[in-house]
Structure formats: C-alpha cells, structure tokens
Amino acid sequence: MPSPVLLSDIGNVLTFFDFSVAALRVSERCPFPPEALSERLEDIKGPFENGDMDDDTFVRAAIQALEFEGTAAEFEAIWCDIFTENEAMKRSLAPLVGKVPMKLLSNTSGLHKDYLLRTFDIFRPFSGGVYSYSAKCSKPGEEIFRVTIQELDLDPSQTFYIDDLEPNIATAQKLGFDVHHYHHLAHDRLEADLEAWARKQGLTV
C-alpha cells in the first residue's frame, strides 16, 4: 500500500555538477578547446542518457569524437569527476532518515548514476529510483513519471518531489505530486516546504 515518500532529482538538488571541469581536463588531451566539446558530443549524449547507448559504447564514441588521447578508464574518470555534494540538502534530509522512504528520479546515464551512488554519502538514505537511461524515457515527459509511480508504488498525493527544473515540476504537479522547485540560493524555502509536507503526512522532523 502506498505511503509517504520523498522523491528527489539528483543534479543541482542532491549534488551540483560542472561539465566545464571535465571539458577543461579533456581539452588538455585532445585537439579541441573546452567550449567545442559539448557540441562534438551532442549527437551521442542524448541517446546515452535515454538508454539507447550503453556505457562502453558511449565512452568509445566520445573518445573518437573528441580524439581524446587517453584510455577509456581515464576518460570515464574525467567524465564522472564533475560533481560536488549539496551539504545543505544533506543536513535538511537528515531528520527524515529512517522515517520516510527516499527515492530518486533523474535524467542520467548509468555511468554517472553508479559513480554518484558509490561516491557520495548523501545517497545512503535513498533506496531505489528510476533513471532515464534504464527507463528509456526522460523528464519532463509524463511517461517517466508514470513509470516511477508504478515501479516505486507511489501515491503522488503522498509524495514530496524535489527538482530544480520548472518543466519537470510542472509535469509532476499535473500528475498530483506535492512538489518543490529547488534552488540552492533559496534553500530555506525547501526546509519550510519539507516541514509542512512532513506535518501533513503525520511525520515528525
């Protein structure tokens, strides 16, 4: 039977990311400047995050497109080392650990998801999630939210969903989720909304 659940996006919510860090490091080992790398990967990044290309295929294709002078393992390390943990979010979620299930919903690749879950403590309270690469659909489309409701056995009216992008929030709200449009510079708003939701669900924080 569905119960209260906290559902969270990853990027710019639980962790911050900066692709320019990877672009700069890759450019040191390829003939292209950092600002050119995103365009050279444009044709493969979408299929990769939507699960139409596995990790190894993406890495080989990226190395070829960028003419990267290094090994696949070296490229993977650079590609993944772009994240930092959101310490404020970790502190805000701590009172709910063990009191409410925490799940993930993210547009991401398997490469990044695996790296994030094994690297950052903020993910320890989270058990399970839905990811664009495995669901083969992505936000802000309704399909991935419907997959999430089914796979995670969610009641949207009991689910507090956090995302940093307005189109994703709009879809979730349309489907009945209790939502919070997150920005780290307004973190106090998140704490207020989270406390109000917890009270509504009969949870103590």
pLDDT digits (tens, 9 = 90+) for 8-56: 999 999 999 999 999 999 999 999 999 999 999 999 988 998 889 999 9
Model pLDDT, residue 46:
87
Where is average pLDDT lowest: 43-52, 56-65, 143-152, 186-195? 43-52
Q: pTM of the full predicted structure?
A: 0.94
pLDDT above 60: residue 164: yes
- pLDDT at residue 1, rounded to an integer: 56
Q: Which residue has the higher pLDDT, 45 or 116?
A: 116
* Contact in structure between 130 and 105 (CB atoms under 8 Å): yes
Kindly tell me if the per-residue pLDDT of 149 is higher than 70.
Answer: yes
The 3-class secondary structure across the chain, one letter per residue, is CCCCEEEECCECCCEEECHHHHHHHHHCCCCCCHHHHHHHCHHHHHHHHCCCCCHHHHHHHHHHHHCCCCCHHHHHHHHHCCEEECHHHHHHHHHHCCCCCEEEEECCCHHHHHHHHHHCHHHCCEEEEEEHHHHCCCCCCHHHHHHHHHHCCCCHHHEEEEECCHHHHHHHHHCCCEEEECCHHHHHHHHHHHHHHHHHCCCCC
- Percent of residues, the chain, with pLDDT higher than 90: 92
pLDDT(2) > 70? no
Q: Mean pLDDT over residues 135-159, rounded?
A: 97
pLDDT at position 203 is 82
